[in-house]
Structure formats: C-alpha cells, structure tokens
Amino acid sequence: MFEQLAYAMGNAGGGGGAAGGAASLGPLIPLILMFVVFYFLLIRPQQKKAKQQREMLGALKKGDKVITSGGVIGTITGLTDATITLEIAPNVRVKVARGFVSGLAPKAFD
C-alpha cells in the first residue's frame, strides 16, 4: 500500500517541477516591468541631462556669459581644464571650478 502511495507522489512531484518553474517566473514579471518603467522615467532622462551638461562644459569659450551653481553671473576671460576665470564686474575676476558652471546665462542678464 505504501509503495503505491510513494509511486503516486513521485509522479506528481516530477510533473509539477516543470509547471512550478513557469509559475515561479510569474512574480518576477511585475518587478521587471517596474525596472523598465523606472529606467525610462528616472534613469534615462538623468543620463541625458548629465551628457548635455558635459557637452556644454566642453563647448565653453572666452566671451561666453555663464551662471554658476552659486548664482554668480560672469563673462569667461580665461579657461583651463579644471578652472574658469570669470569677470563678474569691471576688473573683478574670480576663478571657478568648471564643474560649478550651471549653464549659459539667460539673455535677461545681458
């Protein structure tokens, strides 16, 4: 009697293994979809913005009017790989690290 029960349990377990593998993939699908949504809504736009910032910093030249992350607006009078010299008033120049330049100054500040 126990041999028949053991044999029946063996068949059910073997057949359920394949179905159990497919069923265990079910809970992963929402996680994968959430990652895809996060990628397109958060990660990808942030990467594009960082790339634009790097390109802007690489394209700076003397005479450009820029604004720093601290809010200082000035005209570029000198450039090196690491620093930018800004003229913020007549004969007043400050050196700023390139990474602290937020962007080109708006036309309203001309």
Could you please state the CATH topology (level 3) that the domain comprising 61-110 is classified under: SH3 type barrels. (2.30.30)
With beta carbons less than 8 A apart as the criterion, state whether 74 and 86 touch: yes
Q: So what's the pLDDT on residue 109?
A: 72
Q: So what's the pLDDT on residue 100?
A: 94
Q: So what's the pLDDT on residue 6?
A: 56
Q: Within 10 A of 56 (CB to CB), how many other CB atoms are there?
A: 15
Q: So what's the pLDDT on residue 106?
A: 86
Return d(Cα 65, Cα 76) in angstroms, integer: 6
Q: So what's the pLDDT on residue 96?
A: 95
Q: Are strands 92-97 and 83-89 parallel, antiparallel or unpaired?
A: antiparallel
**pTM across the whole model:** 0.63
Domain spans of the chain?
Answer: 1-59, 61-110
Provide the residue type at 28 as one letter: L
Low-confidence ranges of the chain (pLDDT < 70): 1-23, 110
Q: Give one word for 63, left, alpha or beta, with left for phi > 0 and alpha for psi -120 to 50.
A: left
With beta carbons less than 8 A apart as the criterion, state whether 94 and 72 touch: yes
Q: Is 51 helix (H, G, I), strand (E, B) or coil?
A: helix
